[in-house]
Amino acid sequence: MRALRFPILVVLVALFAAGCSTNRKPLFDVDGEGQATSFRRYTDRPAVDHVFRWNKRAFQIVEADFRPVPSPDRNAVMLRHGKPDYFRTDVRGERLNELFDEWVYWNQNVIVQFIDGKLVYEGALLDSDRWLVRYGFPSRAYSQQYEIGPRRETWIYEHLFRVGGMAASFNDGTIVFQANY
């Protein structure tokens, strides 16, 4: 009887570890009718903190030789919109701690998000997206999101060697306050 306990314990620990160590995350939410709906991912740590992110630039300009890793969804987006104006890869999301890629179509006012080449979000470019493209990551960022209600963010841009800076507040990505100081 005692010899039987150890293999059962090993099997239970292995099954528990296999179930808990999965990195699969839902790509879509489910609405009230049970239909899959896409949702926008937001950046985890959207500020320059000199520990996790040294560079202030958030997006890279797309050069003529832009060749993303091919996938059916990426190819379909490129057929629909063409080559993006800006992009960034391996963005760590705050909601599910997942990595996603973003493409920005500035003149078409579109932002597209992919996870492992699969299209997970396509929507309108928000004011906060335009700020990230123009000014890069802020020096400090404060974010507030409740279960119900808007997502509120305040970004502060400070100069490293001179006095002054900028501050901007966003409500669900729409700018509600901007000031230079």
Per the model's pLDDT, the better-predicted residue between 16 and 80 turns out to be: 80
* Per-residue confidence band for 22, with pLDDT thresholds at 50, 70 and 90: very low
Does 53 map to a domain? yes
- Looking up tokens 């903190």 gives 49
Q: What is the largest CA-CA distance in the chain?
A: 76
Judge whether 139 and 47 are in contact, CB under 8 Å: yes
In a domain, 159, yes or no: no
Calpha distance 82→36 (Å, rounded)? 26
Domain with 47, as residue range(s), is: 29-137
Average pLDDT, integer, range 93-100 = 78
Is residue 179 in some structural domain? no
Tell me if 12 is assigned to some domain: no
Q: What is the average pLDDT across 119-137?
A: 94
pLDDT of 96 strictly over 90: no
Q: Is residue 111 part of a domain?
A: yes
Query: What is the domain count for the chain?
Result: 1
Give the residue with greater pLDDT, 12 vs 119: 119
The overall average pLDDT reported for the chain is 83
In a domain, 165, yes or no: no
Top-confidence residue, 151 or 54: 151
Residue pair 128/138 in contact by the 8 Å Cβ criterion? no
Q: Are 84 and 105 within 8 A, CB to CB?
A: yes
| DSSP secondary structure code for residue 118 in this structure | E
Decide if 93 is inside a domain: yes
Q: Residue 22 corresponds to which tokens in the numbers above? A: 């999965």
Q: How confident is the model at residue 73 (pLDDT cuts 50, 70, 90)?
A: very high
Calculate mean pLDDT across residues 23-37. Answer: 70
Please check the confidence at residue 24 and state whether its pLDDT lies above 60: no
Task: Assess if residue 181 is contained within a domain.
Answer: no
pLDDT at position 54 is: 67
Question: What are the beta bridge partners of residue 101?
Answer: 114
Q: Is the pLDDT of residue 132 over 80?
A: yes
Write down the pLDDT at residue 45: 73
